Amino acid sequence: MTRITCTLSGFNPRRVLGSGTALDTARLRYLLGEYLKADPRNVHAYVMGEHGDSEFVPWSQALLATKPILELCGETGDSQCRQRFQDIEEEVRTAAYKIIEAKNATYYGIGMALTRITKAILGDEHSVLTVSAMLRGEYGQRDVFVGVPCIINQNGIQRVLPLSLTEEETESWGDPVIPEGEL
């Protein structure tokens, strides 16, 4: 949808953005905060990629304050820590299915995510949010819209914020399908 909007509007791609994985990222931070017994506002972790089944969490970049989350597993002696992180990632990925099953819709969560994105734009916040942005070589991808951390301000996407992904995380992108004749 973001790609179609960009194409039809003729706007600069940095002024066209989608909700991307902003809602998924909020859910991830909430669940990690609950597990780590920490305020989710101090959890810095992102859900990236396409919203849904192919999204992924780059765990190498996840932090509690400035401490890498994966390092916490070794310090706490919790042998199930990494498995719990994987369970949380799966819970985030499948949350929409469970909500639709229970309520027949997911509009409240996405409404909150869109409110947050709008607030960042109207308030010229320069906040980092995982929105759907056109990639221009970041993460080895080009001319595809996907959920990535971006700095958002009054002009839309100030810039995509590339993270240093591991080789395994980089492979999580897969090969994007770009319809013939687009952009």
Relative to beta strand 63-64, strand 43-44 is antiparallel
Q: Which residue has the tokens 């080895």?
A: 140
Give the residue numbers annotated as catalytic, written as ranges: 51
What ranges in 67-150 are assigned the alpha helix state H? 69-76, 81-103, 107-122
Q: 134 pairs with which residues across the strands?
A: 145
